[in-house]
């Protein structure tokens, strides 16, 4: 359930962020859901390998290189799904990765907190 919610949250973020940036294009909400699903699959399969390979750089930058790895995941998603999502440059992918990470952190802390409200 949590994984599906994460895919839907990322799809909503894709659509919202594509409205703010001219260099980031998403073809409708269906395309955003497909892109979010592929991003989740890439994050499960490829991201751990990239994080291990870039571990020395990640330690040196105190974890900030993780945003670069996230941007590479977005670029890979754009490469595989060019019909649904287009990112015009790596700088845009880096900015989108940063904003999506921050938004996911806030949304997950609100949705999945253990405290009663």
- Render pLDDT for 1-24 as a digit per residue (tens, 0 to 9): 788 999 999 999 999 999 999 999
- Render pLDDT for 58-107 as a digit per residue (tens, 0 to 9): 999 999 999 999 999 999 999 999 999 999 999 999 999 999 999 999 99
Indicate the length of the chain as a whole number.
117
Q: What is the dihedral of CA 35, 99, 74, 59, to 10 degrees?
A: -140
Whether the pTM exceeds 0.95: the reply is no
Domain extents in the chain: 1-102
- The torsion angles phi and psi of 58, rounded to 5 degrees, stand at -65, -40
DSSP secondary structure of 69-89: HHHHHHHHHHHHTTTTEEE--
């Amino acid at each position: 359930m949590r994984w599906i919610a994460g895919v839907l949250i990322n799809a909503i973020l894709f659509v919202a962020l594509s409205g703010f940036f001219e260099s980031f294009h998403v073809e409708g909400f269906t395309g955003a859901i497909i892109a979010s699903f592929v991003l989740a699959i890439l994050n499960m399969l490829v991201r751990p390998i990239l994080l291990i390979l870039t571990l020395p750089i990640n330690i040196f930058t105190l974890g900030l290189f993780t945003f670069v790895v996230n941007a590479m995941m977005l670029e890979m998603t754009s490469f595989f799904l060019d019909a649904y999502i287009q990112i015009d440059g790596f700088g845009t992918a880096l900015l989108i990765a940063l904003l999506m990470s921050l938004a996911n952190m806030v949304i997950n802390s609100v949705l999945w907190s253990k405290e009663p409200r």
